[in-house]
Amino acid sequence: MDAAETAFAKINLALHVRRREADGYHAIETLFVFAEDGDRLSLTSEPGLKLAGPFAVALTMGDNLVTRAAEGFVKLTGRPNESGFLLEKNLPVAAGLGGGSADAAAALRLLSARYGIDPGEPAVRDLAASLGADVPACLLSRPVRGEGRGDSLTPLDNVPAGQALLLVNPMRPLATGPVFAQWDGVDRGPLDRGDPIAAAKAGRNDLEPPAIAILPVIGEIVSLLGRQEGAILARMSGSGATCFALFEDDAARDKAAQAVAADHPDWWLLATRLR
């Protein structure tokens, strides 16, 4: 094992769905940020993909995005696939945190570093986009505004690195497809530009209502987080079911985490920060 990358958890501070395109994809506007923590992907000397971590059992080995990223990298570069991977799955699966996309992006960063390739090269970015709409943002793993399918990216300034962040998941997976299918098709307007935190507060997640209709506990979590002392913003991330809250400081976040864990010991929590 000679190199490792964190597959940083992705959070959508806001997510506006503007329309459904003719090809079936949705045009969105979103603010991507990333937590300091996530899954952990390591290169190994043994071929193949091995799984570890608390959520490893939830993954299927057949069509893992890490494997697809590695196969795509071989085709792109012509480099032989001489390495394997160990994926420590720390994030819930189908949770709105971009776990699979972040894992694929970490694989591309690892392989690029191994062969001295800049992961920002257009060909690597194109490969990332072919793997999924969130993968280009996860490849960067820094604050960006996403438009189009979410893969047209603009860097964001003034996102406070180190901002206290609490993630909560009810331990119920929620597939993206059914949530988008429940979206009512109403364009509720653009996402503000300018200061990202102000834009997020003024914005919304258009997938939150349909997700709550499928899994009502999401609404309970968002409301509970929003009532915590020191909470700045509480919302669902992505297509759910993970919800997040930004807090004024670590002490407020930790107090909220203790309160939520005491009342709901069956929920998954992660106390972290924005990177």
Catalytic residue set: 10, 134
Peptide bond into 241 cis (omega under 30): yes
Q: How far from 263 is each of 58, 84, 179, 221, 266, CA to CA, in Å?
A: 25, 41, 27, 11, 9
Based on its alpha-carbon atoms, the radius of gyration of the chain, rounded to whole angstroms, reads 18
Q: How far is 275 from 18, CA to CA, in rounded Å?
A: 28
- On whether the CB atoms of residues 248 and 230 are closer than 8 A, the answer is yes
Nearest to 14 by CA among 242, 259, 214, 199: 199
Q: Is 229 helix (H, G, I), strand (E, B) or coil?
A: coil
